Amino acid sequence: MLAGHAWWPDAATVPRAVVALLALGPLIWGAVLAQNDLHDLPSDRANPRKADAPLVTGAVSATRLRRWYRGISLAAVGAAVFVGPLFVLGVLGVLALGWAYSVPPLRLKTRPGWDVTVNAVVVGVVSPAAGWAITRPPWEFPWPFGLIGLLFAAALYVPTTVTDLAADRGAGDTTLAVRFGPRFAHRLGVALWAAALAFSMLCAWRGVLVPRATLGPQLVMAPVLLAGYAVLTLRPTIAKMAVVSLLFGIPTIGFALAYVG
């Protein structure tokens, strides 16, 4: 949508776009989450939210999950080959970041700051840039969109480190919330969310990427979105984060409608 100023790709691009969606969605995340579950088992066993996870209950063995990880990873790379060589590099990069996030000795999940950064880069920058690269060169990707995505994704991820604080602390996983505490995590999340909203309004005011027509609605909605985020993430839960994600959908849909026209 961003690359073509249209809701749908042209007919010649549809097959590659569908395969790219498959690779970026269930295949990439299936592989990354399988890797994460394998190495998060100690904290998951102490986490009430993960009590019915297949690996915790024994419904799926670690050996089987490793096989699934390898198979899904190969499927993701194979799908990426159909899309194009640059897309293959992107998929390999995401798989590498997933490995670095979960697997010792790097295990960036236990390195405060890096745990948030890795997820924010993958979701906020790499994924939209990969979609862009289906039809246009990646070096033409608009950096303001990547920065907005990075800030929003980081703001959405920070509270998740608080939801699993007790389990991570018990397992010895030093996440951002474990290292700095939930109050700092909340303040950081609010600051990131506010920065994303402010930069989006700046882009609209300058007419850079974000249509100028969205400036008025953004000025009205920004305080509402900021207050909603601040309240919902004060004591974050999965249900509250789902509502925050719905809030994020408001500026996203507004941008898309104005951008496509």
Residues 6+ apart with CB under 8 A from 214: 204, 254, 255, 258
Amino acid at 72: I
**Residue-wise pLDDT tens digits, 129-152:** 888 888 888 889 999 999 999 999
The alpha helices in 59-142, defined as continuous H runs, are 62-83, 85-102, 114-121, 127-132
| pLDDT tens, the chain, 261 aa long | 888 888 888 888 889 989 999 998 999 999 999 999 999 988 888 888 888 888 999 999 999 999 999 999 999 999 999 998 888 988 998 999 999 999 998 999 999 999 999 999 999 998 888 888 888 888 899 999 999 999 999 999 999 999 989 888 988 889 999 999 999 999 999 999 999 999 999 999 999 988 898 999 999 999 999 999 999 999 999 999 999 989 888 888 888 998 887
Output the six-digit token pair for 143: 């950096």
3-class DSSP state of 123: helix
Chain centroid offset of residue 251 CA: 16
Amino acid (one-letter) located at 217: P
Residues 6+ apart with CB under 8 A from 242: none
The burial class, CB within 10 Å (0-12 / 13-18 / 19+), for 63 is exposed
Structure tokens at 209: 């990427």
Q: Which candidate, 46, 57, 38, places its Cα nearest to that of 109?
A: 38
Give which of 206, 201, 194 is closest to 255, Cα–Cα: 201
3 state SS for 31-74: HHHHHHHHHCHHHHHCCHHHCCCHHHHCCCCHHHHHHHHHHHHH
Q: Please give the pLDDT value at position 236.
A: 94
CA-based nearest residue to 148, from 133, 129, 162 = 129
Residues 6+ apart with CB under 8 A from 246: none
Nearest CA to 203 out of 139, 247, 138, 251 is that of 251
**Residue 64 in tokens:** 């089987």
pTM of the model: 0.90
Distance CA 225, CA 244 (A): 9
pLDDT, tens digit (0-9, with 9 covering 90-100), for 180-228:
999 999 999 999 999 999 999 999 999 998 889 899 999 999 999 999 9
pLDDT of residue 195: 97
Q: What is the pLDDT of residue 127?
A: 87
